[in-house]
A and B are shown apart, each in its own frame.
Chain A
Amino acid sequence: MILTSSQISTSRRLLGLFAVLIALTAAVAVLGVILGMISSFVANGGTSLSWSFLSEFPRNNNTEGGIWPALAGTTFLVLLMTILGVPIGTATAIYLTEFAKQDSWFARSVRFAVNTLAGVPSIVFGLFGVGFFIQFMGGGIDSWLGTSSFGDGSLLWSSATLAVLTLPVVIVSVEEALRAVPRDLREASLALGATRWQTIIKVVIPNAVTGILTGSILAVGRGAGEVAAILFVGVTYSSEVLPSNVTEKFMHLGYHLFVLSTQSPDVDKTLPLQYATTLVLLGLTFLLNLTAILIRSRLRKR
């Protein structure tokens, strides 16, 4: 059958219209699901959300009271994770973009490792944390110092595990930021007699600071919501006190949610608490993303 050109264009136009319609429906559906989720959390958990919920310890086997130790524990965890992970990730990214010969086998292996790391299920990081950090490092430190506090799950080893888990995020986003610094700027610096290091410190990093910060925040966001990776390396389901140093165990919002919804003697009773905890977790994530956006736009303006 031979179609006239006007027939072709009509059927094409119909097809185009159809495609737009599908895309639009999908977009509306996604928006709907998100709004529905949030409104259900707000409706169910909003009433339990209060200052005392945020500032009190849980009571009565986690069926009453607040989430203060979980909130504080998550914050400590994420901070320590950032302190451990971001410098290492940034240093790796600097090595990869500024120093490595791009096709050397070492650079390629590091890149391969980073990409592989990004695809590993988080529970595997938890096992790695047990084997490497707790048993190998912690055990080693204990027998070396004659202590007994390092060879067990703790805030420190959980942070270290999460730092490894978020390393790919940091490395990839910092690398991207470093590559975005114009080549001419580097050359101008080198041509003025700066060494590579001076160029990196004085020109490249200041120009990539947005990307480095954004990468760190994305990593923090990823780390803050992660539960599986810390299951075996130091999180605890209930605690009467906040950890007083990094070798102690800690509570965590995500894990607390898991405990409330599956391990509680009365799951139905804790339902409002679960929703409220979810709201706090969501709020934290939202806050982090907002900060990232604000930093980005602020620095872009400069």
Chain B
Amino acid sequence: MAKEYPVKIEAHNFNFHYGAKQALFNINLSIPERRVTAFIGPSGCGKSTFLRSMNRMNDLIDGTRVDGHMTIDGVDVYSKDVDVVTLRRRVGMVFQKSIPFPKSIYENITYGLTLNDKVTKTELDHIVESSLRKSALWEEVKDRLHHSAQGLSGGQQQRLCIARAVAINPEILLMDEPCSALDPISTGKVEELITELKDSYTIVLVTHNMQQAGRVSDYTGFFLMGSLIEFDRTRTLFTSPAKKETEDYITGRFG
């Protein structure tokens, strides 16, 4: 597994419970730095749960429990002395339903920046521009930065959410089915964006679209009913899967 690149995130005997219901069973894997890692699998198999365990978004749900380890750069994110806020600034997240805040485009991007730090107007302007450029949105919105973000199209809103996450300069970007609500053209733009961003960020992408995983990811993990069935280089997993379940799924005989 992923020995060719330095390991960024690692799960070790990781289990996750929603109250009495166990959603993840003994997950072990290493996610390489500055690559795109995709998770595929039928709906309800635990992809989102696993992704949300990395920035501890699941902490917000009453009654959840983890055991085992989830480490980033070798530090267990669930250990007592990890500050969740700092963790989430290092681990950005883009959601399936891209909801911009009901504020201006500019304020959406500066939201994370101005929470704790005093940042000068010039710096903010600069970061807004560079984040929007990175998310391939600058040309489309540069003349209406101070208009409401809710006037943007669905695809633009999703790229804005990526820009918003990129603006706080995280090391990791978690994306949970970022294209599932987008038309093919917007999807193409976001995929292109993901390929560009992987030079600077470790990207973990959940998708129910196998073609998408094939197009943009370097590594792919296949989940089934809360277990990680197989994890390998994307090309290997799609051309010569080691497990029968994986083969059934990617050849469409399942789900």
Partners in one complex: yes
Enumerate chain A residues within 8 angstroms of B116, measured Cβ to Cβ. Answer: 193
Whether a CB of chain A sits under 8 angstroms from the CB of B5 is: no
A178-194 vs B, Cβ < 8 Å mask (1 yes, 0 no): 00001011111111111
| Cβ B112 vs Cβ A194 within 8 A | yes
| Cβ A187 vs Cβ B57 within 8 A | yes
| Cβ B97 vs Cβ A184 within 8 A | yes
Smallest distance from the beta carbon of A263 to chain B beta carbons, Å? 54
B141-180 vs A, Cβ < 8 Å mask (1 yes, 0 no): 0000000000000000000010011001000000000000
Whether a CB of chain A sits under 8 angstroms from the CB of B254 is: no
A182-213 vs B, Cβ < 8 Å mask (1 yes, 0 no): 10111111111111001000110011000000
Smallest distance from the beta carbon of B207 to chain A beta carbons, Å? 19
Chain A, 101-119, CB within 8 A of any chain B CB: 101-103
Interface with A: B72-80, B87-95, B189-197, B213-221, which one?
Answer: B87-95
| Cβ B99 vs Cβ A193 within 8 A | no
Q: Which of A184, A187, A193 contacts B89 (CB 8 A)?
A: A193
The answer to whether A193 and B115 touch (CB under 8 A), given A184-B97, A188-B95, is: yes
The answer to whether A194 and B115 touch (CB under 8 A), given A102-B62, A187-B57, A188-B161, is: yes
Q: How large is the interface on B (under 10, 10 to 19, 20 to 34, 35 or more residues)?
A: 20 to 34
B24-51 vs A, Cβ < 8 Å mask (1 yes, 0 no): 0000000000000000000000000000
Enumerate chain B residues within 8 angstroms of A185, measured Cβ to Cβ. Answer: 99, 101
Majority secondary structure, A binding face: helix
| Cβ B99 vs Cβ A191 within 8 A | no
| Cβ A195 vs Cβ B85 within 8 A | yes
Whether a CB of chain A sits under 8 angstroms from the CB of B102 is: yes
Smallest distance from the beta carbon of B131 to chain A beta carbons, Å? 12
Query: For residue A188, which residue of chain B has the nearest CB?
Result: B99
Query: For residue B99, which residue of chain A has the nearest CB?
Result: A184
Whether a CB of chain A sits under 8 angstroms from the CB of B86 is: yes
Enumerate chain B residues within 8 angstroms of A188, measured Cβ to Cβ. Answer: 95, 99, 101, 161, 164
| Cβ B168 vs Cβ A193 within 8 A | yes
Q: Which of A182, A191, A203, A206 contacts B88 (CB 8 A)?
A: A191
| Cβ B88 vs Cβ A190 within 8 A | yes
Enumerate chain A residues within 8 angstroms of B15, measured Cβ to Cβ. Answer: none
Enumerate chain B residues within 8 angstroms of A207, measured Cβ to Cβ. Answer: 102
Enumerate chain B residues within 8 angstroms of A182, measured Cβ to Cβ. Answer: 99
Enumerate chain A residues within 8 angstroms of B234, measured Cβ to Cβ. Answer: none
Query: For residue A193, which residue of chain B has the nearest CB?
Result: B89
Enumerate chain B residues within 8 angstroms of A202, measured Cβ to Cβ. Answer: 111
| Cβ A191 vs Cβ B57 within 8 A | yes
Smallest distance from the beta carbon of B20 to chain A beta carbons, Å? 14
**A191-B88, A194-B115 given; 9 more Cβ-contact pairs under 8 Å:** A185-B99, A186-B60, A189-B101, A190-B57, A190-B88, A192-B111, A193-B85, A193-B88, A193-B115
Q: Which 3 A-B pairs have the closest CB atoms?
A: A192-B112, A193-B89, A191-B93
